[in-house]
Structures are given as C-alpha cells and as structure tokens.
Amino acid sequence: MLQGVIFDHDGTLVDSERKHYQLWADLLSEFGVDFSEQIYRDHLAGIPTTASAEYLTTHYSLPITAQALYEKRERANTVALSEQACPLIAGALALVQWVHSRNLAMAIATGAPEREVEPTLVQHGLGDYFPIVASRDKVERPKPAPDVYQHALTQMQLKAAQCIAIEDSATGLQSALACGLECIVVRNDYSRGHNFAGASAVFEHMDEVKNYLAQRL
C-alpha cells in the first residue's frame, strides 16, 4: 500500500524551466550567442546545471570555463529567486494538499540546491507540507543518479516499494527508477519530447495524478 509520495521540484512543483532558459539566454548573450529556446528544450531541460554549463561552453566554444559559467549562472539565479519564487505548476498545490490530506509521507527530491527550493516553500506556503527536502547539495551525485531519492527515503524512513515519485523529465525519471521507485511523469512544454520509457504512467496535467494515486491507497 502506498505510504509516501516524493515530488520533484523544478518543472513538477514549479514552472521553472522558462526562468532557467532565460537565465542561460541572458548569460550567453554576453558572449554574442543567440541561444534559442528550442535548443534549450532539446538539450538542457531537466538536466543538472553543472552539466548544462559543460554543454554550453563546449558547444559554443565559449571563452570561459564550465565552472566559471556555472558560478555566473548561480549568482544570477540567486538574485532572481530572491525577488520572486517561480510560479507553481497548474494543479500542483491542489495535488499537494490532497496527498497531505491522505496522511501520506511527503518529500521533495530535487537536482537543485536547497536555496532554490526555499523560495517555493516560503513564498507559496508549501513548507508545512514538505518537512523533507532532499537536494543536490546533500548528496554526492546529482540526478540521474539515485542519490537524492535514496536520501529522501532514508529521511522518510520508508522503502522504495512504499512510495511513488512524481517527475517531469527523463533525467528525473532515470533517477527515480535507479532508486527502485515507481515513477509517474507529468509532462510540460519543455519535457514533452523526452523519452519516458519505464514510467508507470505519463500525464499532461497534475489533475490526472490524483486518480492514479487514489488507486494505490
């Protein structure tokens, strides 16, 4: 029987991919690069920021190291999030509240550092629902490695077979599956073309998830 639900953060709880794209586009414009949204969708959506920096510096032969580009992006992101958290995905709040009302254990497992999740918890009032945040700065390896999901399960004191993960990207799906979790996917504009082989179900909207989870109770 289902005892816990683990939510991804970026692209699942919050509509952050547009912000991530714009941050990269602004940074690359400093180097004279016109970075298209389609290239972001095809190559960077859902992957760790460090991997994105490595791809961009190599692909565009930038006169900067991947680490330096990553650090510039992190500084810009910190400023952006301090001003306003990313908007919630449509239906995310209602689903979170429904899961909470069923007395299921809840956690966030994210490839982002905890400081990027904090604005979501505070500004959108989700802190009371998520006592556990497994972030990339708490583990050795980012997604698609299983580390953040394993950390979440350890904190929840549950086994993988007792929980379901909710993701939006192929990278996140691979991470959850590598941890032995059942994983369902809610696609968004940036992940619609991803390969979701291995997902138990793929949905277009958060409203569809509730019925799926209810069957597990």
pLDDT tens digit sequence for 47-91: 888 899 999 999 999 999 999 999 999 898 888 877 788 999 999
Predicted confidence band of residue 217 (pLDDT cuts 50, 70, 90): confident
Architecture of domain 4-16+86-214: 3-Layer(aba) Sandwich (3.40)
For residues 179 and 174, what is the distance between their CA atoms, to the nearest angstrom? 9
Assess if CATH 3.40.1130 describes domain 17-83: no
Domain ranges of the chain: 4-16+86-214, 17-83
| Tens-place pLDDT, residues 187-201 | 988 888 889 999 999
pLDDT for 30: 95
Is there a contact between 191 and 77 (Cβ–Cβ < 8 Å)?
Answer: no
Chain segment 112-170, per-residue pLDDT in tens: 889 889 999 999 999 999 999 999 999 999 999 999 999 999 999 999 999 999 999 99
Q: At what angle do helices 66-83 and 17-29 cross, to 10 degrees?
A: 130
Q: Supply the pTM of this predicted model.
A: 0.86
If you average pLDDT over each of 18-22, 27-31, 190-194, which comes out highest? 27-31
Task: Check if the beta carbon of residue 113 is closer than 8 Å to that of residue 75.
Answer: no
The predicted pLDDT at position 211 comes to 92
Tokens of 190: 């940036």
